[in-house]
Chain A
Amino acid sequence: MATLQLKKLTSVWIITILVLFVLAIVFGILMRFNQGNAIHLSPVGFYSMMTIHGLTMIGIWFVAGMAAVNFLLQRYIKVSAGINVFALVLTVIGVVMLWLVTFVGEFHTGWTFLYPLPFRGAWKEWATPLFLLALGVLGIGWFVWSAGMLFQIFRKYRPAQAFAWQHLRKGSPEIETPPFILISTVTLIGIITCLVAAVLLLVLYFAEYFSSGSFVNDALLMKNLTFFFGHTLANEMLYLGLASLYELFPEVSGRPKFKMTWYVALAWNCTMVFILTAFFHHMYMDFVQPFAFQVIGQMASYFASVPAAAVTAFSVLAVVIKNPIRWSLTNTLFFVGVTGWLIGGVGAVIDATISNNFVLHNTLWVPAHFHTYNAIGNVLFSLAFFNWAANEFGGKGHTDKFTRLKMTLLIIGGSGFVIMFYIGGAYSVPRRFNVYPQEFSSLSILASAGALFACLYLAVIVWFLVNTVNKCLKVFSAA
């Protein structure tokens, strides 16, 4: 049973995330309008926005998944509220630092901050060390949070049980591992691993920064470390969202809880292993990267995503098909989110195939697929949790008004927005161009059209924000 303290904390997370989400969407829309020549931002203004847009989106949906898992874990184990507060405070400090760095310091490396760009840009001198420090602050908060939750899981479940290995043997196991515990464990392990890589990356950056030129990093190693950290974290945030789905989707649909089976256990153990090497697909176009890594990258990209996606999709479909379902905004968001995740996954698998990547890498195909599995995938998983939690905290039951209207507008807005990216990618339009060169000028209309669809998506999010915040605030008045 969640304590009032945990409800308050989760409410603060939800409100903070939704406000930042709205702002980050606005930045995204402005960038697309700029690419469509409808408005004119300075290059520094555009790329600063691009940097904070990426950092904010990854950051907020990561902590959204963490806050949800933290809240739901309370059903099985006790999680420290102090660590949750610590993570919240450090996240807020880190976000403020990042916004300061980008908008006052004009730091504009993109969220990937590929080495050695942070040392070679036209921004304020203090921006680079403060940016690295901000990452350090966020990293500490998130590491402690993840390690704290994992520690508590391992206090109740032996590691082999938390990984559900007993379900891989024949016969009925004595102790059943809930799918939520397995996915949370797998994901927290992945998060801790990639945060360790982030520590190494930051140490190497600071070593060069303070060496006055006597120490220079290796660009290929730094790129591998950057994507080991960045790609893995972005993937893990999706799995955090899926953990909520496994816990809540059958429950809010009025169906029996998901049970652990050998194939769920196998799929998620596969994901835990393969996800740690899928990041190699970011280096396909670095032909000097060892060939074995390229092969591992393609194979891991397939085997990290396909089994988990197939198991989840099948489980969700089996719950719904020809079964009595209590549809609400929460489970509709989960359901549509799985569809968006799979479609984005198809786009991702196409791009993670080396022979395709050769003509798609760094075109608009890339933002196309990751916006699909985020904006109409993972984000919907977290919104589903937010809606469920807000109804728990201050709603009148789990019925919501205008569910069909909200979902229809969200789907039209989200789909229209990403379709423009896919078409742009197929036309070889480069990503991360603030303005399009002559040969793509006729396609800039796609950018403006995408921005208009995104406005529709934004309108639904603002509507959702108002409803959700109202309900969440009731937790504080209840005290």
Chain B
Amino acid sequence: MDDKHTFTLVLFFLLTVGIVAVFLYAYLSSLPSSSAKGGLTNPKKKRFLLFFILMEAVIILFTLTLPRSPYFFFANSTPSKVVFVAARQFSFAMSYQTIAPDTQAPAKAIELPRGKPVEFRVTSFDVNHGFAIYDMSGNLIAQTQAMPGYINRLRWVFDSPGEYNILCLEYCGMAHAFMRTSFNVK
């Protein structure tokens, strides 16, 4: 698990613990039904505080995360390599040249440079597929969709050399789990 995924999981579990703690407290603080009335003190103030914190958190989350969206990655750089990707049930074709729908892509191994932006131009010749790049440790590091009639451009810089795997992450039929390929970064 890489740092980003670890952070996400830890954040999720911390927030979960917080929610469970509040609800557990509420449950344990409730009184037998025969008791005299108690209740939350200052509910309006607490409600305002909850809303204020939540709305602030949402706005901060939105502002901080939007610029980190993949659409902006290396948008102002010129890719050092362009790789054309054509997905079809149940294989990927990858080439440095465009791939025609009715031809087989050359079975040439793809090698990409380390530390320089590369661009994947991803499409599909039949149904929707996913184009997900996994590093050598099995972490999902980048992805886009392969959609018939459209080309999704994914830009990325690979920091480490090695063999990266591509898995299809959009369900595409009975052999979906076996649809994969790989490329090398040197």
Residues of A near any B CB (own CB < 8 A): 43-44, 47, 108-110, 112, 114-117, 120-122, 218-220, 223, 254, 263, 285-288, 291, 294-295, 298-299, 302-303, 306-307, 310, 314, 317-318, 320-327, 335-336, 338-339, 342-343, 346-347, 349-350, 353-356, 358-363, 422-423, 426-428, 430-437, 439-440
Contact = CB atoms under 8 A, between A and B. Distances in A.
Given A298-B66, A325-B33, A355-B68, A433 B43 contact: no
Nearest to B154: A287
Given A285-B130, A433-B177, A324 B38 contact: yes
A427 B50 contact: no
Given A314-B47, A355-B65, A440 B8 contact: no
A346 B148 CA distance: 33
B141 A359 contact: yes
Contacts of B40: 317-318, 321-323
25 contacts: A47-B171, A47-B173, A117-B172, A219-B147, A219-B148, A219-B150, A223-B128, A263-B51, A295-B66, A310-B51, A317-B26, A318-B40, A343-B15, A343-B16, A343-B19, A358-B69, A358-B142, A358-B143, A359-B143, A362-B130, A422-B9, A430-B167, A432-B176, A437-B167, A440-B138
A285 B177 contact: no
A356 B142 CA distance: 10
A299 B62 contact: yes
Interface in B35-70: 35-40, 43, 46-47, 50-51, 54-55, 58, 61-62, 65-66, 68-70
A288 B138 contact: no
Contacts of A431: 169
B132 interface: yes
Contacts of A434: 176-177
A306 B54 contact: yes
Interface bin, chain B: 35 or more
Contacts of A435: 177
A320 B28 CA distance: 9
A295 B72 CA distance: 13
Closest 5 CB pairs of A and B: A428-B140, A355-B68, A322-B38, A362-B169, A433-B177
